């Protein structure tokens, strides 16, 4: 009984510590979802005009981060924009950054390091890397798809290689109008179980796993630590909010900042729910390219952050 009481006290303490960031993120995400979603879609459609240059790619990547949609909400938006003629490289930038970050998770990331300087630096670094990942994805799609002619029949109207396969998606003209408090309640209902699970897992981990085990995994060789964190994110990353307390515990036990960043970048990109949605719009071959890109980018970003934060 004493052990149970200790665990419950630790769960309550950890919840009080992280809940302000969680609630602030939920409110920010719902505000954007209700009042700015249509404007974000409109801005994305407006970026379609003009020749290739980095500013529209940066705008598309930023709009992806601002968008509070989950991947299954992003797919219809990408389909609608694709049918309106949005270039593939802009859609790729929007998709990649949208998967990696949203307003809720960005605000919640400030809770890392118990809300101190490390948390702020990691949150800002996560934003910058998610933004850059979207831009880089757009550049690569432009170079290897938009500018590459296809001879096997899998091409767009101009004969360019196709990244997205959007024919199966019908554009939804009549979308129900969102109400702020209903959207906020929905976000709360979806994220609360994952957050609670993450807190319980963190308390159990902190209570029964010796810190030397974490230090031996992540502390000795930075390259191996980043690689291990990237691999570990695939089975453990269920929800961005739920992983924040777990990453926090690992940071206290000796995990490198770059290892944490690799986990936070590879996790959402390779989460099962997101992968199934991505596969629907990319097809098998391009889906494999997306997975390789996500793993390589997370690994290299982790190495860079470890070098900077050391």
pLDDT in tens, 228-283: 888 877 777 766 667 888 888 888 877 888 999 999 999 888 887 778 778 888 88
pLDDT of residue 169: 61
Q: What is the pLDDT of residue 266?
A: 92
Nearest Cα neighbor of 202 from 17, 1, 22, 70 is 17
pLDDT at position 215 is 61
The reported pLDDT for the residue numbered 252 is: 80
The 10s digit of each residue's pLDDT in 22-53 is 787 778 767 766 776 667 667 766 666 555 56
Residue 149 sits at φ, ψ, to 5 deg, of -75, 145
Q: What is the pLDDT of residue 93?
A: 92
Q: Among 12-16, 46-50, 108-112, 128-132, whose mean pLDDT is lowest?
A: 46-50
Contact at 8 Å (CB) between 257 and 54?
Answer: no
147: left (phi over 0), alpha (psi -120 to 50) or beta: alpha
Selected residue with higher pLDDT from 147 and 126 = 126
Q: Would you say residue 14 has pLDDT above 90? A: no
Separation between Cα atoms, residue 224 and residue 229, nearest integer Å: 8
Question: The tokens of 306 are what?
Answer: 């470890």
Q: What is the pLDDT of residue 16?
A: 80
Burial of 267 from C-beta contacts in 10 A (0-12 / 13-18 / 19+):
buried
Q: Which residues contact 76 (CB under 8 A, 6 or more apart)?
A: 169, 171, 172
Between these two residues, 276 and 109, which has the higher pLDDT value? 109
SS3 137: helix
Q: Residue 127: CB partners within 8 Å, gap ≥ 6? A: 65, 101, 106
Q: Tell me what the mean pLDDT of segment 108-130 comes to.
A: 87
Read off the pLDDT band of 131 (50, 70, 90): very high
User: What pLDDT digit, counting tens, does each position of 161-203 carry?
Assistant: 778 877 666 554 445 566 778 877 877 887 777 778 777 877 7
What does pTM read for this prediction? 0.80
Nearest to 24 by CA among 136, 125, 104: 104
């Amino acid at each position: 009984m004493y052990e149970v009481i200790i665990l419950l006290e630790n769960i309550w303490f950890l919840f009080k510590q992280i809940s302000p960031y969680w609630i602030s993120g939920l409110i920010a995400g719902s505000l954007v979802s209700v009042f700015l979603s249509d404007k974000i879609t409109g801005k994305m459609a407006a970026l379609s005009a003009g020749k290739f240059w980095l500013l529209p790619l940066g705008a598309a990547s930023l709009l992806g981060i601002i968008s509070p949609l989950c991947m299954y909400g992003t797919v219809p938006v990408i389909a609608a924009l694709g049918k309106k003629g949005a270039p593939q490289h802009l859609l790729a930038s929007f998709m990649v950054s949208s998967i990696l970050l949203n307003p809720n998770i960005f605000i919640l990331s400030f809770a890392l390091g118990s809300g101190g300087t490390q948390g702020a630096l990691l949150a800002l670094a996560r934003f910058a890397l998610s933004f850059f990942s979207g831009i880089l994805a757009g550049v690569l799609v432009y170079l290897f798809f938009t500018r590459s002619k296809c001879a096997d029949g899998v091409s767009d109207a101009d004969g360019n290689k196709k990244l997205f396969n959007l024919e199966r998606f019908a554009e939804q003209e009549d979308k129900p109008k969102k109400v702020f408090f209903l959207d906020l309640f929905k976000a709360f209902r979806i994220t609360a179980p994952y957050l609670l699970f993450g807190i319980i897992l963190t308390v159990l981990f902190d209570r029964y796993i010796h810190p030397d085990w974490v230090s031996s995994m992540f502390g000795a060789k930075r390259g191996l630590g980043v690689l291990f964190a990237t691999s570990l994110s695939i089975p453990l990353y269920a929800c961005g909010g739920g992983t924040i307390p777990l990453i926090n515990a690992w940071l206290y036990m000796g995990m490198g900042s770059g290892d944490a960043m690799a986990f936070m970048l590879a996790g959402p990109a390779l989460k099962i729910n997101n992968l199934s949605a991505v596969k629907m719009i990319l097809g098998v071959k391009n889906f494999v390219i997306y997975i390789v890109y996500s793993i390589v980018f997370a690994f290299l970003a982790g190495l860079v952050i470890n070098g900077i934060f050391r």
